Chain A
Amino acid sequence: ETGVTQSPTHLIKTRGQQVTLRCSSQSGHNTVSWYQQALGQGPQFIFQYYREEENGRGNFPPRFSGLQFPNYSSELNVNALELDDSALYLCASSLTAGGPTGELFFGEGSRLTVL
């Protein structure tokens, strides 16, 4: 069984640039969630995708956007990067959207540094 994989593992951008992070969900999982983990903090929920539609969003501005593809893989896009966007971005997949039926399976994350 293939786990959650994320790419790239590390990247460096400058303020104002745009970034795309990618996530392949665990085999058979149809829901993907994205979290931002700043240094020394716990992960913060960005948004969730189910059946290719955004299905829940945290307190993040619209310059954070995402996509989910028919194979359930997902992208996180961040426009107009700010220094505070420097963080570890975690992708998590699960079997269903909503309901206490399972658990989140996390990838190892993409570490973004904004200079």
Chain B
Amino acid sequence: AQSVTQPDIHITVSEGASLELRCNYSYGATPYLFWYVQSPGQGLQLLLKYFSGDTLVQGIKGFEAEFKRSQSSFNLRKPSVHWSDAAEYFCAVGARGTGFQKLVFGTGTRLLVSP
């Protein structure tokens, strides 16, 4: 069975600084990988996804993520953080064969943005 680890529970970044959120997954084959964002009182919004092909994936709101098979990682990055990026970020993995609806999520990383 697949699993996801997000080692950072909280991260504080200054506005304008760069951001990297870590995600490590466990799965026997090439997985489907996702990053979702959740603002307070809101549902989850998809930032980006990796299915195959180019390992550097571009998403919405200026986010990108890189799939590194050798490290079983899918870290999320943004070159310059805005105050509106403060939210909870979830990495998720889906198993090939069961589709992308049955996702396993990490426990999330809460991003705080300081002025």
Chain A interface residues (CB < 8 Å from chain B): 4, 31, 33, 40-45, 48, 56, 58, 90, 92, 94, 97-104, 106-109
Name the contact of B101 in the complex, choosing from A40, A56, A90 (C-beta under 8 A). A56
Contact pick for A56, options B45, B49, B98, B107, CB 8 Å: B98
Q: A56-B98, A94-B100, A98-B99 are in contact. Are A104 and B105 (CB under 8 A)?
A: no
Determine whether the beta carbon of A100 is less than 8 Å from that of B104: no
Residues of chain B whose beta carbon lies under 8 Å from any beta carbon of chain A: 4, 32, 34, 36, 41-46, 49, 51-52, 90, 92, 97-108
Q: Give the dominant DSSP class at A's interface.
A: loop
Which of B46, B102, B108 has a CB less than 8 Å from the CB of A42? B108
Q: Which residues of A contact B51 (CB under 8 A)?
A: 100
* Contact residues in B for A108 (Cβ distance below 8 Å): 41-43
Give chain B nearest CB distance to A41 CB in angstroms. Answer: 6
Q: Are B43 and A99 in contact (CB under 8 A)?
A: no
Note all chain B residues with C-beta closer than 8 A to A106: 36, 43-45
Contacts A/B (CB < 8 Å), 14 sampled: A4-B43, A40-B108, A42-B92, A43-B103, A45-B101, A45-B104, A98-B101, A100-B32, A100-B52, A100-B100, A103-B100, A104-B46, A106-B43, A108-B42
